[in-house]
Amino acid sequence: MFYTANPDGYHELLPGVRLKTLVHGERMHFTEVKFVKGAKVPMHKHPHEQTGYVVKGALRFDVDGEILIAKPGDSWNIASNVPHSAEALEETAVIEVFSPVREDYLAMM
C-alpha cells in the first residue's frame, strides 16, 4: 500500500480530534491525527500497542496515572491495555502507529 499526501480523508474521531489512516498492512496501522487546542481523548485502553510522534503542537498525556507533556520531536509507546488519555495544549498534529491493525479505524476509511 502506498499513500500520496492529500488534505482529504480525515474523520472526526471525537470533538476536535480528526484522524486519517495513511497506510496499513497485516499487522501495523499508520495514522495521522490532528487536534484543535483543548480537544480531549478520554481515558481508555485497547489491545493495540501504540507508538506516536508529535509533528507540531503539544499533548498532555495521562498514561496510567503518569502525566507527560509531548512536544514536537517527542515520541511515545503505550503498551497494550494500559489506560491513557490525552489533551491538546495547542493545535497539534501527531503520527501514530498501532499494532495490530485498528479495524475500527479501517471502518472509517
What are the Cα distances from residue 79, in Å, to 39, 48, 107? 23, 7, 23
Domains of the chain by residue range: 12-106
pLDDT tens profile 1-45:
899 999 999 999 999 999 999 999 999 999 999 999 999 999 999
User: Which residues pair with residue 95 across a beta bridge?
Assistant: 32, 53
> How do residues 57-69 score in pLDDT, each as one tens digit?
999 999 999 999 9
Q: Which of these CATH numbers, 3.90.1280.10, 2.60.120.10, 3.10.180.10, 3.30.365.10, describes 12-106?
A: 2.60.120.10
pLDDT at residue number 1? 87
Confidence tier at 108 by pLDDT (50, 70, 90): confident
CA distance 23 to 104: 14
- Which three cell numbers, joined as nine digits, stand for 53? 510522534
Amino acid found at 98: F
Sheet strands side by side (includes 40-44):
40-44, 84-88, 59-63, 66-70
